[in-house]
Amino acid sequence: MVDAPLKAVFFDFDGVICQTEVCRMDVLEARLHALGLYPDRRKLYRMISGGFRPREAAMDELFGSQPLYWEQREKVLERHPIQFRYPQILTPGITEVTEMLCRAGLQLAVVSNSSTEVVDQALHQCGIRENFRHIFSGWERPDRKPEPALYQQAMTYFGLKAENCLVVEDSPVGIRAGKRAGLPVAALRDRDGLIDQSEADVVLLTIRDLLALPCVRKTMKM
C-alpha cells in the first residue's frame, strides 16, 4: 500500500473510532419493526453510511413499494436524536492502536463529515483526544466527503504527500474521498459485513489489524 515512509494516519470518526453508525442502524431498525416495516439490512446500512442524502428520498426509495409505509410515512420520517454515550461505543482496540501509533512518531488526525464540536467532545469523553493532532470537519462544507477536499486539507496541514499517509475509513463515501485524494485506504469492516468496501486497498477485520499492515509495521520498527 505505502512504499514511502509512513508519517501520518487519518481516521474517520463514525464507524471507525466510535460505532455510531451501527448504533443508529439498530435504533432505526427497531423503530421500523415497531411500525411493521422490515427493511433489507444491506440497504439500511447503505442509507445510514451514505452521507447527506435527504432522509425523505432515501426512505421513499427503501419502502416505496410497501403500502404500509405510505400509511406510516409521517412517523417513519420523525427524527429522534440519539444521545450517544461514546465510551460505550468506542471501537474495541482504538485506544491501544492510536497510542502505539503516537509512540511510533506518527501524526494522527480525525477526518470526518461530523462536526468538530461533536468529534472533539466524543474524543475527550473517551480519553483519547490527545492522540489526535487535529480534527478536519466537513460538517458545514459543500465539499465534504465523498469529495477529496478534507483529505487534501489534512495533507496540506501536515505538509505531507499522499505516499506518506494512510486513511482508515469504513463507508463507501469516505473510502471514495480518500481514493480521490490519491491516498491509500484501509477499510474497517462493519459489524455485519454489509457495507460495500470494495474500493479500499485493504479491509481490516478489527482495528488492531491496522498494526499488522506492512507500512505500519515498518514504521513502528524504525
> Cβ distance 44 to 29 under 8 Å?
yes
- The pLDDT of residue 51 is above 60: no
In the beta sheet, which residues pair with residue 186?
A: 168, 202
The length of the chain is 222
Which H or E run includes 157? helix 149-158
pLDDT attached to residue 151: 98
Q: For residue 162, which of 215, 117, 88, 114 has the smallest C-alpha distance?
A: 215
Interatomic CA distance for residues 18 and 89, integer angstroms: 6
Selected residue with higher pLDDT from 2 and 132: 132
pLDDT attached to residue 154: 98
| 202 Cβ neighbours under 8 A, 6+ residues apart | 1, 186, 187, 213
Q: Give me 164's grid cell.
A: 506518506
Q: What is the pLDDT of residues 75-105, one digit of tens each?
A: 888 877 889 999 999 999 999 999 999 999 9
- Dihedral sign from CA coordinates of 171, 154, 220, 94: negative
Helices 20-34 and 41-48, packing angle to 10 deg: 130
Q: pLDDT category, 61, cuts 50, 70, 90?
A: confident
- The pLDDT of residue 37 is above 80: yes
SS3 sequence, 101-153? HHHCCCEEEEEECCCHHHHHHHHHHCCCHHHCCEEEECCCCCCCCCCCHHHHH
pTM for the model stands at 0.92
Q: pLDDT category, 54, cuts 50, 70, 90?
A: low
Least confident of 141-155, 164-178, 208-222: 208-222
pLDDT attached to residue 50: 59
In the beta sheet, which residues pair with residue 95?
A: none
On the CB side of 75, CA atoms within 13 Å amount to 12
Percent residues over pLDDT 90 in the chain = 70
- Dihedral sign from CA coordinates of 222, 162, 150, 59: negative
- The pLDDT of residue 3 is above 80: no
Interatomic CA distance for residues 170 and 182, integer angstroms: 17
Interatomic CA distance for residues 101 and 212, integer angstroms: 12
Q: What is the pLDDT of residues 92-145, one digit of tens each?
A: 999 999 999 999 999 999 999 999 999 999 999 999 999 999 999 999 889 999
Other Cβ atoms within 10 Å of 120 Cβ, number: 15
The single-letter DSSP state of residue 92 is T
